[in-house]
Amino acid sequence: MNWTLLQNSLLVSALTTLLALALGAVSALWIATLDRRWRMGFLGVSAIALALPPFLVTSCWLHLLGHTGILKAWLPMSIYSRWGTIWLLTLMTWPVALFLVLGAWQRIERSYLESEPGLQGWRMIRHLLLPMARPALGLAGVLIFVLALTNFAVPAILQTKVFPAELWVSFNTALDYREALRLCWPLVLAPLVLVLWLSRRSVAWPALDGGVSSDLLRKQLGGAWLWGTGFVSVFLVLVAVGFPAGHLVGAKGTWTQLPAALAAGKAALWNSFWLAAVASALAVAAGLIGWRWRFGALFWIPFFVPGVLLGIALLFVFNRTLPLSILVQSAGLVVVAFALRYLAVGWSAAAHAMRSVDPDLTDAAKLSGAGPAQILRHVQWPQIAPQIAAAGYVTYLLCLWDVETLILIVPPGGETLALRVFNLLHYGWNDQVNALCLLLLILAIAPLALWFVGRGVILTTTGTRWSVSFLALVLCCWLAGCSRGASNVTPVPSQFFSAVQVIGSRGTAPGQFNKPRSVAVDTEDNLYVVDMTGRVQKFSREGEFLLSWQMPQTDLGKPKGMCRDQAGQIVVIEPHYSRVNHFSPEGKLICQWGDTGTNADQLMFPRSAVVNSRGEIYVSEYGKVERVQKFGEQGRGWLQSIGEAGAEEGRFNRAEGLGLDRSDRLYVADSCNHRVQVFSPDGRFLRTYGRAGDGPGELSYPYDVQVDADGRQYVCEFGNSRVQIFDDQGRSLERLGRAGSAPGQFANPWGLALDSAGNLYVADSRNHRVQKFVRRKS
C-alpha cells in the first residue's frame, strides 16, 4: 500500500468535504429564507453547478490561475496544487449539502419558532437548525467524501497525486492488473460503505413549498445573518456557475476557434452524441426490465467507483472471455461500460415510476383482458413516461461528460469531445478548449429540442418497441470496429506504398508497446520507438526486437519526441523535465541539455526535435510559450526563436512535430491551428497549407510531419486517424488509412519516421503498435 498516496487522497477528500458542507449549509440557510420564485431560481442554478462537466469548470480556473492565467499577477497561487484540486472539487459538490440540508429543514413547523420567541439568530441555528440538519449533514458528508475520493478528471488535469489519477497512470504505463487491484481497494470500499449507508436511510429533498414560512424564518434569523449568508451564497453561485459560463461565452477565442473546432471535430461530435444516446437508452431499458430486483441498490457501486477502475475491470473480463473479446477495441465495449456505470440512474427512476403507477387502473386493465404489452402501452407508459424521459436525459448528460470510463477503452476512431477536451487540458488551457466545450453544451440541449419537436411520437411509442430498437442499435455498434488483420504484412491501396507491416502489439514485454508516441531511425535504418512505459526500444529494419533502455525519470511524465542527430545519435525529448537527451544506438547517454524556463535558450514543455544538415537542432515548445527554438549542435548555444502564440501566419497553437527538406526548410505541425507551416533555413515564414476538416487537403490536429527526398510531406493526423501525403507545393496527393484496427488503419497516430529507402513508420498510438509502410518500387 502506498501510504503517502492514501494520506494525500484522504486529505483532499476530507478537506473538500468540510468546505463543501460549510458552504452548502450556509447557502441552504439563505435559500430557506427566500420566497418561492427566488428559491426556485437559486435551486435551479445550484443544480447547474452540480451538473456542469468537471473539465468545463477546470478549464475556466486554468485560464484564471494556470501557468499563463490572467489573474496570476494579482493572485499568485497555482491551480496546479492540492489546494487547487480541493477548491475545484468543492465548487462541484457543495450543492449536495445544500439540497440535503434544505430538505431536512422542511420538517420545521411554525410552532417551533412561535413557542420560543427568543429563538433567534445564532441561538436558532445552534439549538434548532443544526440538530435537525445533523443526519442530513452526515449523509451529505459521506456522499461528498466518496465523490471527491473517486473523482478522476480534476486531479488528473491538475496533476495531483490521488488514487484515481495514479490508478490511471499506473495501468496506462505498465498494464499491470495486479498493481491496479492493489491500488483500487479504497476506491471500492468507500462506494460500498456509501451504498450500505444510503440503503438504510431515506433522503428528504427540498421542495418549493412546505415547512415554516420564509417570512418568519427571515424575521427569526435576523439581518446580520441574512446578509452574511446571502453574500456567501451569491458569491458561491457566481464562482461555481457564473465564472465558467462567462468564461465560455465571453471569451473571444471561443467564437474564433469554433469553426475550426467543429470542422476538425465532426467525428468526435458524432461519437459523443450517439454513444451517449445509445448507452442512456440501454441503461433506462435495463432499468425498466429489472425494476423489481430487490438488490438493485448494488447498481450504485459502479456509479460511485472511478470510471477508470470500471474500464480496467471490463478489459480484464472481456480480454479473457472468448465470446466477449470481440467487443474489445470496438464501440460496443464503450456502450456496455457507459450503460453499466449509469444503470443505477435508470433502475432507480424506473423502480420509483413503476411503484407510483395507479394500481386500480392496472387491475381494471387486467380484468378487461389486456396483456402485459397492452398494459404497458395504455396504462403504465402514460404515467411513467415523464420520469423515464428525465432519467434518460440525466444518463445522457452523464455519458456525454464521461472521460474516465472511456479513456482506457476508447476504440479506434471513437474519440469523443469530452476526451479531446481532457487531452488538451492535460497540457494546459487554450482557446480551442472553450470551443469544444460549447459544442458539448449544444449536444447537451439537443435532446430537449428533439423532445419538443417529436414529443408526440415519443409519447405514443411502446416501451417494448423502444427497447428493441435501441438494443438493435447496440448490436450494430458491437459489430463495428472489430476488424483484425490475419497477416503481419498486408497489401495497401496506395500509389506510394505497396504493403504495410505491423510491428509489435499491446503489452510491456520486449517488442510490445503501450501507446507508442514517437519513432526514429538510425543510419543503419534500425527503428527506435518510445512509448508510455518510458522506455526506448530498438528494432531491426525487418522489425525484430534488438534491445531497449529505460528513461531514468518518468514520475512527472513520459518522453515524447525523437529524431537522429548528425552524429547518428538518437535524440529523445522529455517534455515534463524540459530537457533533450542524446543516446548512442546502444542506449548509452552521450549528453543531456535543457533548462526549464520561458527565456530564450530555455525550454518549456518541449515536444519535438529535428536536426538540419549543419547539425543545428530545432525544438518545438507548447504551453507557456508557443515557439520553435534553434540551437547549436547538441544544444551548444542558442541561435534563434521562431513564432509565438496565435493563429496568424508564423504563429503557433501547440506546435508539435518538425520536419526538414533537403534544402533545410523547416516544416512545423501547427496542431491546434490544423495546418502545417513552412519556414526558410533562416526562420522566415514562407507558406502554410491545410485547414480544419477531414477532406483532401484538410487536417485535424496534425501531430507530426516528415519530408522525403522528393519533397513530399507526410502529415500524421491525430484527429482524423490517418496520414496525408502532400506534394512540394502543399497539394494533397493521397490520404493513407482511416480510423480502425486493421493493418493500414490507425487509432490516433502520434509520430512518423522515414528510412533511407523511403519506408514510412507510423506510431499507431491507441492500437499499441508501429506500422511500416513499404515503399513501392518504381
Span 388-432, pLDDT tens digits = 888 899 999 999 999 999 999 999 889 999 999 998 887 666 678
Domain that holds residue 396: 256-482
Q: Does the pLDDT at position 646 exceed 60?
A: yes
Is residue 322 classed exposed, middle or buried when 0-12, 13-18 and 19+ CB atoms within 10 A define those classes?
A: exposed
Report how far apart, in Å, the C-alpha atoms of 664 and of each of 570, 582, 612 are: 19, 21, 6
For residue 619, give every residue at least 6 positions away whose Cβ sits within 8 Å of its Cβ, in sequence order, or none: 573, 580, 603, 606, 608, 609, 628, 629, 631
> Is residue 677 situated within a structural domain?
no
Number of domains in the chain: 3
Q: What is the CATH number of the domain that holds 599?
A: 2.40.10.500
What is the spatial distance between Cα 771 and Cα 778, in angstroms, rounded to a whole number?
22
264 with 181, same domain: the answer is no
Q: Is residue 277 classed as helix, strand or coil in its secondary structure? A: helix
Burial class (CB in 10 A: 0-12, 13-18, 19+), 662: exposed
Q: Look at residues 438, 461, 482 and tell me which one is the last residue of a structural domain.
A: 482
| Residue whose entry in the numeric block shows the C-alpha cell 476530507 | 14
DSSP secondary-structure letter at 236?
H
Helix H, strand E, coil C: the string for 685-734 is EEEEECCECCCCCCECCEEEEEECCCCCEEEEECCCCEEEEECCCCCEEE
Q: What confidence tier does 378 reach under pLDDT thresholds 50, 70, 90?
A: confident
Summarize pLDDT for 478-529 with one digit per residue, the tens.
Answer: 444 443 433 478 999 999 999 999 999 999 899 999 999 999 999 999 999 9
Residue pLDDT, tens place only, 580-627? 999 999 999 999 999 999 999 999 999 999 999 999 999 999 988 999
- Is the pLDDT at 223 greater than 70? The verdict is yes
- For the chain, percent of residues with pLDDT exceeding 90: 53
Q: Let me know: does 736 contact 773? Beta carbons within 8 Å.
A: yes
375, 365 Cβ separation under 8 angstroms: yes
Going by C-alpha positions, the residue among 157, 135, 139 that lies closest to residue 147 is 139
What integer best gives the mean pLDDT of the chain?
87
Same domain, 264 and 299: yes
Q: Which amino acid is at 218?
A: R
Residue 468 predicted with pLDDT over 50: no
CA distance 723 to 702: 9
Residue 208 burial (CB < 10 Å; 0-12/13-18/19+)? exposed
Whether 133 shows a pLDDT value over 50: the answer reads: yes
Domain C-terminal end among 436, 459, 482: 482
Q: Are residues 88 and 111 in the same domain?
A: yes
- Domain match, 362 and 407 both: yes
Summarised one tens digit per residue, pLDDT across range 293-313 is 878 788 888 998 999 999 999
Output the CA torsion 168→169→174→176 (10° steps). -30
Residue 456: is its pLDDT beyond 60? no
Answer yes or no: do 230 and 274 share one domain.
Answer: no
Residue 67's pLDDT is: 75
* CA–CA gap between residue 563 and residue 706 (Å, rounded): 11
The string of pLDDT tens digits covering residues 690-711 is: 999 999 999 999 999 999 999 9
- Residue 210 pLDDT greater than 60, yes or no: no
In a domain, 523, yes or no: no
pLDDT of residue 163: 87
Q: Is 225 exposed, middle or buried (0-12, 13-18, 19+ CB in 10 A)?
A: buried
CA nearest neighbour of 180 among 80, 295, 314, 82: 314
Do 244 and 287 reside in the same domain of the chain? no
Interior angle at CA 514, CA 744 and CA 498, nearest 5: 20
The secondary structure element, H or E, covering residue 300 is helix 300-304
Would residue 571 count as lying in a domain? Answer: yes
Q: Which amino acid is at 638?
A: W
Nearest residue to 724 (alpha-carbon basis) of 747, 758, 690: 690
C-alpha cell at position 404: 474516465
CA 726 to CA 728: how far, in whole Å?
Answer: 7
Is there a single domain that holds both residue 405 and residue 442? yes
Look at residues 454, 482, 510 and tell me which one is the last residue of a structural domain: 482
Which set of grid coordinates corresponds to residue 730? 502543399
**Measuring CA to CA, which residue among 296, 420, 288, 257 is closest to residue 357?**
288
Mean pLDDT within 208-225: 74
Q: Is residue 88 part of a domain?
A: yes
Assign 521 to helix, strand or coil.
strand
Q: Is 307 contained in some domain?
A: yes
| Residue 342 grid cell | 449509469
- Distance between CA 578 and CA 620 in Å, rounded? 11
Question: Does 206 share its domain with 263?
Answer: no
Q: What is the helix (H) or strand (E) element at residue 773, kind and residue range?
A: strand 769-775
What are the pLDDT digits (tens) for 160-180?
A: 989 898 888 888 888 888 888
Could you tell me if 356 and 302 lie in one domain? Answer: yes
Q: Does 342 lie in the same domain as 413?
A: yes
Report the share of the chain in percent with pLDDT over 70: 92
User: Are 639 and 632 a contacting pair, CB within 8 Å?
Assistant: yes
- Average pLDDT of 336-353? 90
CATH number of the domain bearing residue 400 = 1.10.3720.10
27 and 173 share one domain: yes
667 lies in a domain? Answer: no
Task: Report the candidate in 376, 196, 174 with the shortest Cα–Cα distance to residue 304.
Answer: 196
Q: Which grid cell is 444?
A: 447537451
Q: 114 and 172 share a domain?
A: yes
pLDDT confidence of residue 171: 87
User: For residue 505, which of 176, 743, 769, 747 has the smallest C-alpha distance?
Assistant: 769
How far is residue 473's CA from residue 467's CA, in Å, rounded to a whole number? 10
Half-sphere exposure of 423 (CA within 13 A, CB side): 19
Residues whose CB falls within 8 Å of the CB of residue 154, separated by 6 or more in sequence, listed in order: 54, 58, 85, 88, 89, 92, 160
Residue 172, domain member (yes or no): yes
- Residue 514 lies inside a defined structural domain of this protein: no
Residues 6+ apart with CB under 8 A from 695: none
pTM of the model: 0.84
Q: What are phi and psi of 234, to 5 degrees?
A: -65, -40
Would you say residue 462 has pLDDT above 70? no
